Amino acid sequence: ILNVEQSPQSLHVQEGDSTNFTCSFPSSNFYALHWYRWETAKSPEALFVMTLNGDEKKKGRISATLNTKEGYSYLYIKGSQPEDSATYLCAFHTGGFKTIFGAGTRLFVKA
Amino acid sequence: DVKVTQSSRYLVKRTGEKVFLECVQDMDHENMFWYRQDPGLGLRLIYFSYDVKMKEKGDIPEGYSVSREKKERFSLILESASTNQTSMYLCASSLGGGLETGELFFGEGSRLTVL
C-alpha cells in the first residue's frame, strides 16, 4: 500500500517565525511530488511540482526540496505571515491517474 | 483565469435522498476527478474520467456513480445518501494526453451533510 505521511499535523507559529514541514513518500514508482496550499473557503492551489531528485524550488518566501532516493520532501516558509495560514498538502504522483495525498499540515500564523 | 467550478458549496440532505454534485472546468482538460476529504485523512479518489463517457473507479467508489457527457462537465451522484457520506467533496481536473506532471486544478469544494 502506497502511503504519504506529513508532519506535523498542525503548527502554530508567530508572525516572523520560519517553519518547515515534512512529507514522506514511497521511494519507488516515483513520477512527481506536488505541494498544494489550501486556504479556508478556497480551492487547493499548486505551489510546486517537483520531478527530479535534488530539486529545489522557490516561490517568494516559500521553498521546497526533494529527495526521491530516501523518499522525503521539505517545505520551508521563511518569515511566516498571517496570510500563510493554510493547510499544506503533499501529493505523490505515480504517473497515469494515480495521486496519493498526505493528510496535510495545518499552519496557523498569529499576528 | 482558469477555473474549476463546483455547483454547490454547501448542501444538507436527508438519508436516502439522491444527490448530484456538478463540476465544470474551462481549461479543456482531458482528465477529471472526484475526491472526498475527511478530517485526518488525505484526499481519497472516488472516481475519475479520462475522456467523455469514460469513467474509472478510484479507491472508494462504493455508494457513488459519475457521469461525463461533455468534456467540461463531470458529475458525482449519490444514489441514496447515507450519513457516512457526510464529507467535503473536491472536483479536480488535469491536462491529460501524456503531456502533464499530474498537477491537479481544484474546485472550491462542496460540503455535504447527510442527516
Residue-wise pLDDT for A6-27, tens only, equals: 999 999 999 999 999 999 999 8
Decide if pLDDT at B1 tops 70. no
What's the start-to-end Cα distance of chain B, in Å?
Answer: 37
pLDDT (0 to 100) of residue B96: 79
C-alpha cell at B4: 474549476
pLDDT (0 to 100) of residue A1: 63
Q: Which of A36, A45, A97 sits opposite B48 (nearest CB)?
A: A97
Those residues with Cβ within 8 angstroms of residue A93's Cβ, 6 or more apart along the chain or in another chain: A31, A32, A33, A34, A99, A100, B101, B102
Decide if pLDDT at B95 tops 90. no
Q: Which of A94-103, B13-22, B45-54, B103-112 has the lowest mean pLDDT?
A: A94-103
Supply the mean pLDDT for chain A.
94
| Contact state of A104 with B42 under an 8 Å Cβ cutoff | yes
Q: How confident is the model at residue B60 (pLDDT cuts 50, 70, 90)?
A: very high
Decide if pLDDT at B80 tops 80. yes
Decide if pLDDT at A79 tops 80. yes
Cβ atoms within 10 A of the Cβ of B12, count?
11
Q: How confident is the model at residue B9 (pLDDT cuts 50, 70, 90)?
A: very high
pLDDT (0 to 100) of residue A106: 97
pLDDT per position as a tens digit, A37-65: 999 999 999 999 999 999 999 999 999 99
pLDDT (0 to 100) of residue B101: 78
Q: Which of B50, B103, B108 sits opposite A43 (nearest CB)?
A: B108
Residue A36 to residues A43, A86, B86: CA-CA distances in angstroms?
10, 10, 24
Count of CB pairs separated by less than 8 Å, A with B: 58
| Contact state of B108 with A41 under an 8 Å Cβ cutoff | yes
Beta-ladder partners of A109: A13
Angle at CA of residue B51, ends B71 and A36, nearest 5°:
80
Whole-angstrom distance, CA of residue B34 vs CA of residue B66: 9
